[in-house]
A and B are shown apart, each in its own frame.
Chain A
Amino acid sequence: SQQGEEDPQALSIQEGENATMNCSYKTSINNLQWYRQNSGRGLVHLILIRSNEREKHSGRLRVTLDTSKKSSSLLITASRAADTASYFCATVQRSGGYNKLIFGAGTRLAVHP
Chain B
Amino acid sequence: EPEVTQTPSHQVTQMGQEVILRCVPISNHLYFYWYRQILGQKVEFLVSFYNNEISEKSEIFDDQFSVERPDGSNFTLKIRSTKLEDSAMYFCASMPGRATDTQYFGPGTRLTVL
Q: Mark A1-43, 1 if CB is under 8 A from B, else 0.
A: 0000000000000000000000000000011010100001111
Chain A interface size band reads 20 to 34
Instruction: Report B32 CB to chain A, min CB distance, Å.
Output: 10
**Most chain B CB within a 10 A radius of its CB, from A30, A43, A48:** A43
**Most chain A CB within a 10 A radius of its CB, from B41, B95, B102:** B102
Task: Please report whether the interface of chain B is mostly helix, strand, loop or mixed according to DSSP.
Answer: strand
Q: Quick check: A97 and B101 within 8 Å, CB to CB?
A: no
Beyond contacts A35-B105, A100-B45: 13 other A-B pairs, Cβ-Cβ < 8 A, are A30-B101, A33-B101, A41-B107, A42-B107, A43-B93, A44-B105, A45-B104, A98-B55, A99-B31, A99-B98, A100-B58, A101-B33, A102-B45
